[in-house]
Structure 1
């Protein structure tokens, strides 16, 4: 049984299995996955990562009904894995990985698996700056595979943010229209959906909505966002 594959299989079936976990099991799993992700991020020895993954698996299997635990144990021992990574020792299961389970459990990040994972990676590849406690709560905040939070730079008038901790935050102002549209799109609840709207080409314009910022197109941006969230028929 490969512990990384068991965790990946759990991630693939998270929506169905998560309700089975009681609060104590969730707390235990969070602690074990925090340890695992830290070891992977810091390039810990193979044996240490495998041991941490094994402890996480023990917690998962001990918290599930016997039939579900047996199924995950079987999938972790016999399935053909896709997307194995020598760098992180994360054999995948149906396009999911152990890191995907970390994202789901530790960050409440739904952007996992073969469909949403590539969108996550594309959005995270856009210019950004580390998240700061003083950031306006209406701004889009994204988190990477290690849980580090960042702010996409398109949201700011200056086009860049201070990258050194001692540099001041205050001169860097968000676009007012960005804050308005983010509120309409519910960026606090779905930052990935809001970021994808801003950074993807649409049928409304030649380029992305973000490319229109500062071009006197605020009314169009607001109208497009309102049309997107309006109930059908309004």
Structure 2
């Protein structure tokens, strides 16, 4: 997930499958120091957790459209997220949003639910995933304590994935939740938040070289 080229190659391999009904995008990292990824040199977590996750999800939508089992059942794309998004407070930047996330100091409109149901699931804190394996000192103590007190085991956390990918229907398209469909972070319902979301989406498409998102989502082949 650090390499955009690797993501594209993975999508190409998926496109050779005879059938693909469900995709769960779960890869992520939690770096404790500022590092730049290979390729475009963006900050590692920005590259893995956001940019290449968007790239993979976009490519897999078009693969799911072609490879789902029949013309009636919708393909399922589940994006794994965190409830930490509910706590975020963003100051509106004066320049590029991507650049504001890329410094050591600040480290249902396009896809029809008839074709692919896209859902963002929060499995909550899970024990034994290795997500914070590089943490040291106080952050490690806090995370381990949280896992001990409220953490789910990996099996229970994975049930969230199955529920979102197999049990929920078209009513979940474009939504966020953990067993139940829940509101997005409050900032996304404000005028300022909507403007930032639109700006971030435009910058993301430019970063990933996807100027025409409708055309990109309509094909299963990606030239990188």
Common topology (TM > 0.5)? no
- Give TM class, smaller chain: under 0.3
Greater per-residue strand proportion: 2
The structure showing larger relative contact order (alpha-carbon pairs under 8 Å, at least 6 residues apart) is 2
Greater per-residue helix proportion: 1
